[in-house]
Amino acid sequence: SKYAFLGSLRSAAQIVSYEIAMGFTLVGVLMCANSLNLGRIVIGQTGGFWQWYFIPLFPLFVVYFISAVAETNR
Integer-rounded Cα radius of gyration of the chain: 17
Q: For residue range 15-69, what is the model confidence (pLDDT) as tens digits?
A: 888 889 999 999 999 998 899 999 998 888 888 887 788 888 999 999 999 999 9
Burial class (CB in 10 A: 0-12, 13-18, 19+), 64: buried
- What global pTM score does this model have? 0.74
Nearest partner of 19 among 55, 68, 73, 74, judged by Cα: 68
Q: Residue 62's CB: how many other CB atoms inside 10 A?
A: 11
pLDDT given at position 47: 81
